Amino acid sequence: MSTSVPQKALSKIATNRLHKELKEWENNPPAGFKHRPTDNLQRWIIEVSGAPGTLYANEQFQLQVDFPEHYPMEAPQVIFIHNPPFHPHVYSNGHICLDILYDSWSPAMTVSSICISILSMLSSSTVKMRPPDNDRYVRNCRNGRSPKDTRWWFHDDKV
C-alpha cells in the first residue's frame, strides 16, 4: 500500500476548493460513499459500498484521496487502501487504472465525481479478478511509487 506521497502543502486555492467540496459532500454525499472525517484536508478517507446488484454488493472498501498542492489543476492521487476490491482494473496495492485519475483528469471534476466513476467502474465489472499484470506492476511499485507516476495504458473502454 503506497501511502507515502511527497506532499507539499495545499495552495490557497486548493484549500479553499476542498473546503467547499467537503461542505457540498456533507450536504449531498454521493450515493454509496461515506467520508471519514479527519483533520487532514489534504487526505480524505472515503468508504465505498459496493452497489446493490453488482459483484461487489454488500462489500466495503476504502479509498484514500491525496490532494496535490495544485489541486484541482492537478489530479488527486486516489487509491484503495486495506483490502482493494478484486477487479480487473484494481491492483493489489490499491492502484486504480482509471483514466480520469490520470490523463483524463479535468479541473472541473470533483472528489464526488471521481467517487462515482470509481463505483461505476466497480459496478460494471463482470468478473472478480486482478489485472493480468498485477504481480509485475506491484513489484515495480514496491518503493511506494504513486500511481500518478505510472504510465497507464487505458485499454478497456467498457468501464
User: Is residue 128 part of the contact set for another protein (CB under 8 A)?
Assistant: no
Residue in this structure with the C-alpha cell 482494473, named with its chain if needed: 89
Q: Check if 115 is active-site.
A: no
Beta carbon of residue 25, minimum distance to another protein (angstroms, whole number):
11
Residue in this structure with the C-alpha cell 464526488, named with its chain if needed: 112
Torsion angle in degrees (nearest 10) through CA of 67, 72, 75, 76: 20
Q: Which of residues 55-84 bind another protein (CB under 8 A)?
A: 72-73
Report how far apart, in Å, the C-alpha atoms of 154 and of each of 4, 96, 102, 138, 158 are: 25, 11, 10, 17, 11
Binder among 22, 43, 88, 156 for another protein (CB under 8 A)? 156
Sites of contact with another protein (CB under 8 A)? 11-13, 16-17, 20-21, 28, 30-31, 51-54, 72-73, 99-100, 104, 106-110, 112-114, 116-117, 119-121, 123-124, 126, 154, 156-159
